[in-house]
A and B are shown apart, each in its own frame.
Chain A
Amino acid sequence: MIWDWAFAFEILPVLARAAIVSIEATLIGFALAASLGLVLAVVRIAVPWTGWTISVLVELIRSTPLLIQIFFLYFVFPKFGVVLDAFTAGVLAIGIHYAAYCSEVYRAGFDNIHRGQWEASIALNLSSWTTFRDIIIPQAIPPIVPALGNYLVALFKETPLLSAIAVLELMQTAKIIGSETFRYTEPTTLVGLFFLAMSLVSAALIRSLERLLNRRTMR
């Protein structure tokens, strides 16, 4: 028989521990992506002379493979005296990579804010910090939640790349089980099913968040 249920149940606890690492990498990576992306988008508007630099940076990050960026942080940075453990380097790379995508999403959100909102903020003499915090961001975020959510799921599905620098996440764990037992069917299938289940769950969560935000803002 190709599929061995006993073996599948035997490796489940090991994979479950690895799943926690994958989820941690996703959550920390996305928190970094969402906040750094927002900072990039805000600075680009608030400090006009940074616009060109940030555009080039974002383009550079988006136009090179994530795997190369992970390798860069893990293998090249130590040459410059910055030594990061595999998990930190990997999560940092994922966070920065997706921050570039998120910053474009935020930018689209800001572009959709009516010019009159900025002008009213000037007429009330609000500082640019207050304008972003109280006026622009609260209006810009709800419509872009679906786009940000898509990036959360995409980021999650890219965490197996961390296996390339030996982070003990799901994929790496499945590979180790496979090479030790010469059985790849069960670990690979279980990892695939886990990603499927988590992706469906997060998509559902994002949809309900979207509905909640729409109820609060679209009066």
Chain B
Amino acid sequence: MTEQPMVRFDNVSKRYGALTVLDGLNLEIAHGEKVSIIGPSGSGKTTVLRMLMTLETINDGVIWVEGQPLTHMERNGKLVPADLAHIRKIRAKIGMVFQSFNLFPHMTAMQNCIEAPITVLGMKRADAEARAADLLDMVGLSEKKDHYPSQLSGGQQQRVAIARACAMRPKIMLFDEVTSALDPELVGEVLEVIRKLGREHDLTMLMVTHQMGFAKEFSDRVCFFHAGKICEQGPPNELFGAPKNERTRQFLHAVLEAG
């Protein structure tokens, strides 16, 4: 018996009016796989994450998570658009870290990390705090647990955001340009936490990134998006070392030139 892919985009399209952002996307991500998505801006790469997190609806196709439809549900043997209860059940498996952190500014680091475990998972406060303390320790911020986001640097805020997402024990973690809003000297500490997460936790990871070095070293597979389609994909060594597609070559050339 073959294992179900963790995530499967089945002919998924996304349009804004006349503009097609994603055009019939087919993408499978295996359990535990680390996939990086690269590409020029406007290529639809962030939309892939946002659709999977259900921040965007889709126009065509179906997204599957561990063999269950996310965007749809089965009723009388047919797939119909999912209702909120179904979406909430399936998206509990997914967590996301944002480019702009999106911490709750009126809550401390600790409060940010226990809010969802208590209100969504129904955990006891003490248990949620113990779990959050472990996670804040993992991201190296134990001593900042009572600080508010505005009292933390960008890198520290992003590490809290990672701990907050982990507190919900997702199976799939999405990273949307998580270092793009950071000062260059703070990028390293966040990438180090993501590396650690990949090593120590059984997580499937999907990241949109401009950090080519990190994508190369960290990912099992890299997808190059262009104009709403996967233009080329493969192991990082192949894609970065010997890109087959002309557009991939142009993009990598431009990015490496700049970086």
Contacts and interface: CB of A to CB of B under 8 A. Distances in A.
Contact of A134 (B55, B91, B119, B148): B119
A179 interface: no
Secondary structure dominating the interface of B? loop
A125 interface: yes
A114 B100 CA distance: 11
Across chains A and B, which 5 residue pairs bring their CB atoms closest together, nearest first? A116-B102, A124-B116, A120-B102, A123-B96, A130-B119
A219 B149 CA distance: 9
A122 B150 contact: no
A53 interface: no
A124 B151 contact: no
Contacts of A120: 98, 102-104
Contacts of A117: 102, 104
B120 A124 contact: yes
Contact of A135 (B55, B101, B104): B104
Interface of B: 53-55, 88, 91-92, 94-96, 98, 100-106, 115-116, 119-120, 148, 150-151, 164-165, 168
Contacts of B102: 114, 116-117, 119-120
A138 B104 CA distance: 10
A88 interface: no
A126 B106 contact: no
A202 interface: no
B111 to A, nearest CB: 9
Interface in A181-218: 217
Contacts of B55: 119, 122-123
Contacts of B148: 219
Contacts of B164: 124
Instruction: Name the interface size band of chain A.
Output: 10 to 19
A125 B88 contact: yes
Given A123-B96, A125-B91, A139-B106, 10 more contacts: A116-B98, A116-B100, A116-B102, A120-B102, A122-B54, A122-B91, A126-B120, A134-B119, A138-B106, A217-B106
Interface in A47-66: none
B149 to A, nearest CB: 9
Contacts of B119: 126-127, 130, 134
B174 to A, nearest CB: 8
B76 to A, nearest CB: 26
